[in-house]
Amino acid sequence: MDFSVPAHVQDITRRVRQFVDLEVIPFEAHVDEHIDGLTPESLADLRAKAKAEGIFAPQLPKELGGLGLTLEEIVPVFEAAGRSTLGPLALNCSAPDEGNMHLLHMFATPEQAEHYLKPLAAGETRSGFAMTEPAPGAGSDPNMLQTRAVRDGDDWVINGHKWFTSGADGAAFLIIMAVTNPDVPTHKGATIFLTPIDSQGIDIIRRVPIMGGNDPGGHCEIKFHDLRLPNSAILGEEGQGFALTQKRLGPARLTHCMRWTGIAQRALEIATQYATEREAFGSALSGHQSIQWMLADSATELHAGRLMIQHTAWLLANGNDARQESSMCKVFVAESVNKVLDRAIQICGAKGISRDLPLSRWFEAARAFRIYDGASEVHRMVIARQVVKQFGGQVS
């Protein structure tokens, strides 16, 4: 494994960081003024500037208007974009669209790519991924999927109840996971469907109120009432839903880690600057050992997290499913980011919990990182199974 960063990736990373610092971060002062954090006009303007700077959609192939970077190459680029929660939006590499583009690029038919992928890749539309369901449906255990798609002639009729469908409000289309064969285990009997969001039978109940501020499209509760779709709406093949989802979720977990590392790094910078400027008890805060240890722990955890991200990206790029390493990375980075943000707030004291700094908003938003794309407890279960398996045991 080569830890060096190619020159062209270093250049892109530098330009992305400069763009985020100069063009994107000023918009953070206005995120509470619009339900999606940015007005459509502001987002379109930022994306036009990103395209002009040659840094738009770094993860996409060049034929889709991207930079054609590999999974390994986007690691520092996505971290630089993630220095602001608005940065990935501006570069069109934010969740859930980034993961959805990856999924569509791998499995969409030419017709599906033309209708769904190309406008999404160009930043002209947004998308939603409808998988999670309220109890008793699928949450951390996807085998509890309740939404059903029943064949009716050449069509499928979908009924079900989803929530936390990220990006759904204002999205152009949905990617829906539904059970098509209830007579086999769910991981073999679920199928993914594509549909325009204005199709008859889709009812967006609400944007679920959450801690952490606004995300474009929110996290929506949706009901499907006799949603009728043609067989051509299937992504991949019937029964392949979970196999396709794993192809999406592996890299998506990793890109979440990349982006959040950017936020955590910036939080460390804010805390360090504050500690060097603020005096108490006869010296700058940075002169006190308790503060030094917090800064040291944060820097160490960020370094370790970066190495885990790089290693997992390398494994995935070389054909390894990296299931255990991906779970380790998700757990470690998600929990480290929360700790880095918590320490930064503690160092900044009263200013840290104020909205004068972005730390408190990030802290609220980062709490969900330990839940989405697999809760830390679920990933620990995956890791433990592999550890026990090595010694010939089993974990129920």
Question: What is the β-pairing status of strands 190-196 and 173-179?
Answer: antiparallel
Q: Which CATH class is domain 7-94?
A: mainly alpha
Kindly report, residue by residue over 67-106, the tens digit of the pLDDT.
999 999 999 999 999 999 999 999 999 999 999 999 999 9
Coil, helix or strand for 295? Answer: helix
pLDDT for the residue numbered 396? 64
pLDDT for the residue numbered 4? 92
pLDDT for the residue numbered 172? 98
pLDDT for the residue numbered 148? 98
Q: CA 105, 111, 117, 118: dihedral to nearest 10 degrees?
A: 120
Question: Rounded CA gap, 23 and 49, in Å?
Answer: 9
- Which pTM does this prediction carry? 0.95
* Over residues 145-163, mean pLDDT: 97
Question: Rounded CA gap, 150 and 228, in Å?
Answer: 9
**Domain-by-domain residue ranges, the chain?**
7-94, 127-239, 242-389
CA distance readout (Å), 383 to 98, 327, 373? 26, 7, 15
CA 216 from chain center: how many Å? 13
Position 396: which residue type?
S
pLDDT above 70 as % of the chain = 99
DSSP readout, 6-61? Answer: PHHHHHHHHHHHHHIIIIIGGGGGGGGGSTTSS-HHHHHHHHHHHHHHT-S-TTS-
- Let me know the angle formed at the C-alpha of 111 by 105 and 117, rounded to the nearest 5 degrees: 35
The answer to whether the 7-94 and 242-389 domains have the same CATH topology is no
* Over residues 199-206, mean pLDDT: 98
Question: Rounded CA gap, 319 and 247, in Å?
Answer: 12
CA distance readout (Å), 351 to 90, 335, 355? 28, 23, 8
Which DSSP category does 240 fall into?
-
Q: Which fold, 127-239? A: Butyryl-CoA Dehydrogenase, subunit A; domain 2 (2.40.110)
| Confidence grade of residue 246 (pLDDT, cut at 50, 70, 90) | confident
Q: Which residues contact 159 (CB under 8 A, 6 or more apart)?
A: 147, 148, 150, 224, 225, 226, 227
- φ, ψ for residue 124, nearest 5 deg: -90, -20
Question: Rounded CA gap, 254 and 305, in Å?
Answer: 11
pLDDT for the residue numbered 169? 96
| Confidence grade of residue 1 (pLDDT, cut at 50, 70, 90) | confident
CATH number of this structure's domain 242-389:
1.20.140.10
| H or E element at residue 314 | helix 289-317
Question: Rounded CA gap, 234 and 194, in Å?
Answer: 6
| Confidence grade of residue 351 (pLDDT, cut at 50, 70, 90) | very high
Which DSSP category does 115 fall into?
I
